[in-house]
A and B are shown apart, each in its own frame.
Chain A
């Protein structure tokens, strides 16, 4: 099993629909992150969570929300999807005990298309 699992891997949705991307990890890491990747733009941080009760906005949080249901689960929601949210989304984890800023594991990504 993968260390960080993202579901779904691919999704096409319509403008205005609500969609949830899910992330689960088996590493026991306390920190989890959601990133968005657009071609030629690198990765941009959407939200991050240092533990279940600590959730923070990243660089581009508008239009997104998150939920940390458990230490191992971190979900990203688009309340009303719009076409410019079409992107590749990554979940990542790190461990504060061994260098918290080092993103230790990434999921394989969710390719989201909003039409």
Chain B
């Protein structure tokens, strides 16, 4: 079984401040991990992914995330928030590779950026 917990359904930061969105997962096998972003009235867009290899992954729009196996975490960060980052962010996990597909999504974190 696999699951995802996103800590904080709503995070508010000031423009220029650090963005930290938390994601913890559980998986019985080595996971693949993803972050998606959803802008208002849009579908989800892939921000970044971790499958194997380097544990620090960089995505679009200056976001990055670090896979920490010991902490079962995959937190999303951005050094300096921009107004355009305001959106909802979803963490997702898949139990490893192979032909079976199942992505489990977290409940989402709404990011507000204040001027």
Contact = CB atoms under 8 A, between A and B. Distances in A.
A106 interface: yes
B94 interface: yes
Interface SS majority for chain B: strand
Interface stretch (A13-21, A36-44, A69-77, A78-86): A36-44
Interface residues of B, number: 22
Contacts of B41: 108-109
A104 interface: yes
Scoring A41, A42, A45 by chain B CB atoms within 10 A of each residue's CB, the highest score goes to A42
Interface residues of A, number: 23
Contacts of A45: 102-103
A102 interface: yes
A108 B108 contact: no
Interface of B: 4, 9, 32, 34, 36, 41-46, 49, 51, 90, 94, 101-103, 105-108
